[in-house]
Amino acid sequence: MVAPAPPAGAHAFPDHSDPRVGSTVDRPPAQVRIWFDGEIEPTFSTVRVESEDQRRVDQGDARVNPRDGRLLEVTVPPLASGRYRVYWSVIARDGHRTEGDFRFRIK
């Protein structure tokens, strides 16, 4: 049972992502990747991608990159044009949880 994260802390915040937060891309990405500003716990960090009608569309293989402990990634199939939202939840190495979401669009 996870205790609620304390309200303050050195939480891991996103540094940048691919696709970029709020961006419009010409071609569907093969992966959604989020780089954080600190290392994150592989076991308890997740990411999923949903379409505009709130259907999950990623491959369910969310993982922390084994060569880069700050990179959280998930594979997506070829996505149709439209708007998508990425939901992520991570636990930093010091145990603090952060979560968030962002949108991107495919032309």
Partner 1 sequence: MSRRIAGLVAIAAVVLAAPAAEAHGLIGKRFFPATLGVDDPFVADELSLPTISHIKVRGEGDEPPSRETEFSAEFSKRLSPDFGFSLGATYRLIDPDEGSTMNGFDNMEVSLKYVFFKSPEHETLLSIGLGWDVGGTGSKKVGAESFDTVTPTFFFGKGFGDLPDALEFAKPLALTGSFGVAIPTRHDNVTKVVEDDGSVSFEREVNPSVAQWGFTVQYNLQYLQSFVRDIGLPRPFSRMIPLVEFVMQTPLDSTTQAGRTTGTIQPGIIWFGRYVQVGVEAVIPVNERSGKNVGVVGQLHFYLDDILPQVFTWTPFHGVLGPTQPR
Using CB under 8 A, list all residues that contact partner 1. Answer: 1-11, 13-17, 20-23, 37-38, 41, 43-44, 91, 94-103
3-state secondary structure of 33: strand
Sheet holding 24-25, edge to edge: 24-25, 97-106, 82-91, 46-51
Nearby residues of 56 by Cβ (< 8 Å), 6 or more positions away? 48, 49, 50
Least distance from partner 1 to the Cβ atom of residue 51, Å: 15
Q: For partner 1, give the closer residue by CB, 10 or 80.
A: 10
Q: For partner 1, give the closer residue by CB, 15 or 61.
A: 15
User: Could you tell me where the DSSP H helices lie in the chain?
Assistant: none
Least distance from partner 1 to the Cβ atom of residue 1, Å: 6
Least distance from partner 1 to the Cβ atom of residue 101, Å: 7
Q: For partner 1, give the closer residue by CB, 9 or 77.
A: 9
Q: For partner 1, give the closer residue by CB, 4 or 78.
A: 4
Least distance from partner 1 to the Cβ atom of residue 80, Å: 20
Strands 71-75 and 63-64: antiparallel
3-state secondary structure of 26: coil
